[in-house]
Amino acid sequence: MMEIADYRGPTMDQIIGLCKQRGIIFQSSEIYNGVAGCFDYGPLGAEIKKNIKNIWWQDMVHRRSDIVGLDCSIIMHSDIWRASGHVDGFSDPLVDCKISKMRYRADQLYFAKVIVGREVIGYVSVLEDEKMQSVAENQAQDLKRKLAKQGALAEIVLQPYTEARPEEYALIPSPATGKPGSLTAPRAFNLMFQTHLGAVVDDSSVAYLRPETAQGMFVNFKNILNTYRVKLPFGIAQMGRSFRNEITPRNFIFRSREFEQMEMEFFIQDDADWQEWHQYWVKTRFEWLKSIGLGENFLGLDVHRPEKLAHYSRACTDITFHYPFGVQELEGVAARGNFDLRQHQNASGKNLEYFDEQRNRSYLPHVIEPAIGVDRLFLAVLCSAYCEEPVGNEMRAVLKLHPRVAPIKAAILPLVKNRSELVSLAEKIYQKLSKMHHVQYDEGGAIGRRYRRMDEIGTPYCITVDFDSLENGTFTLRDRDTMEQKRLTEGEIITFLADRCL
């Protein structure tokens, strides 16, 4: 895994505070005390999210001749999820605290052993969370210091709860209560949301909300071959909502129960150089993330070791991002072989092979899958863009969003609102630009204050209509990041925004 320098971005409190204050993201069902792991996107958030999806679709589908789009149903035949392995194997290890009734993922729960010689003389529990880790570490160090005063040299060993021996369950304290013996042994918990189709609720009506968008592309592979003029290598792209009944949704929108994905399955010949294609897509996706404003200092690569790969996977590389809570997966690029097509061909009894005219033979193609979560990318975009700058004796928050991602592309501002000719001209410019971009008209308050309002919500450009505009038909265009100003005509502004925002 690529090491990243010390974190220099915003805190989660700063990001969450800005989202709440500016109507970017709200807790879902907030007036009813909220629903854990579900979020609502406000006016600005909805625009940013829509822009992220539109950019991905434009760059992945519209601007490539070798990828087509698809939009599948959220509810599909339950046998699809049996064939893919989700019904039997899509689970996380669950641990309960019998006293507090809190639930934890066992693979995110650690315990520290305090060892003297060969004897374990104390246990401390810890969640995979910076605050919890620091508390547990302090507890372990306190115990170690007490032993040192008594002349005993102690060693602290950190282990995942999944590696605890059965006899240790009674000794490891719960993170919720601090009392040992209240945590259960790990057990499998299926993450899929189950529902029923039709009026009768029985085993025959069981269905599932999809936990990923990928399977829809595999089961429609032959449909696209038969109806669209595509030849290998080619890709099928899809974006849409997925649902996972996470045991412990956490870190704001990073891990939630309802989320959106953007995935692409790139099909290649069965004897193609899959390693070359895999590296191509890792590099392509890394560069794309940089192109929409993610700082390279936040990004890294995590190449999965062979023993960590799924049984069907040939290779997988995660593009990581340094969030305020640590380095985590942002986008995965996996070489999946032909596992999925083979599973669905066997389960359905339908031939899903591709007939290769050049080779005069049929086979199941192999696939490279770049997959990214919209919400995780949204959070990464905010973390990359957020900064604070001094204005006089105060600090101002600025979202330095890439113009393609920014919710409002430009603000049209009459210099003063008590001159009707300035207001009239500004409104005309607004009406014209609003047919091409999402722009905003603002005449309230001093011009400097209006600039700062736009800076905070990420608007890259402000267009000021002043008295010179009445004389020579030029307008002041101010850049958010440099604060430089230049005068442009209406036609020059239209060209300028098109070059940077589309």
List all residues 6 or more positions away from 476 whose beta carbon is below 8 Å from its beta carbon: 463, 464, 466, 485, 486, 487
Residues 100 and 178 in one domain: yes
Query: Given 131, 154, 189, which residue is the final one in a domain?
Result: 189
Sequence letter at residue 22:
R
Residues 450 and 492 in one domain: yes
Average model confidence (pLDDT) across the chain:
91
Least confident among 86-90, 148-152, 423-427, 478-482: 148-152
From the list 176, 181, 238, 216, the residue with the least C-alpha distance to 374 is 238
List all residues 6 or more positions away from 229 whose beta carbon is below 8 Å from its beta carbon: none
pLDDT for 81 equals: 94
Residues 275 and 376 in one domain: yes
| Number of structural domains in the chain | 3
Do residues 365 and 341 touch, judged by C-beta distance below 8 A? yes
From the list 399, 92, 376, the residue with the least C-alpha distance to 252 is 376
300-308, long-range: CB < 8 A, 24+ apart? 300/1, 300/2, 300/3, 300/4, 300/327, 301/1, 301/2, 302/1, 302/2, 302/329, 303/1
pLDDT higher than threshold 70 for residue 494: yes
Query: pLDDT tens digit string along 449-493?
Result: 999 999 999 999 999 999 999 999 999 999 999 999 999 999 999
pLDDT for 123 equals: 84
Residues 208 and 166 in one domain: no
Query: Given 166, 189, 212, which residue is the final one in a domain?
Result: 189
Mean pLDDT score, 303-316: 90
Q: Assess if residue 430 is contained within a domain.
A: yes
Say how many residues make up the chain. 502
Residues 265 and 364 in one domain: yes
Which CATH number is 26's domain given? 3.30.930.10
pLDDT for 6 equals: 67
Higher pLDDT, 117 or 338: 338
Query: Given 143, 165, 189, which residue is the final one in a domain?
Result: 189
Sequence letter at residue 287:
E
**φ, ψ of residue 473 in degrees (nearest 5):** 75, 20
Give the DSSP H/E element, type plus range, for residue 60: none
Structural domain range at position 102: 92-189
pTM above 0.75, yes or no: yes
* Inter-axis angle of helices 490-501 and 420-433, nearest 10: 40
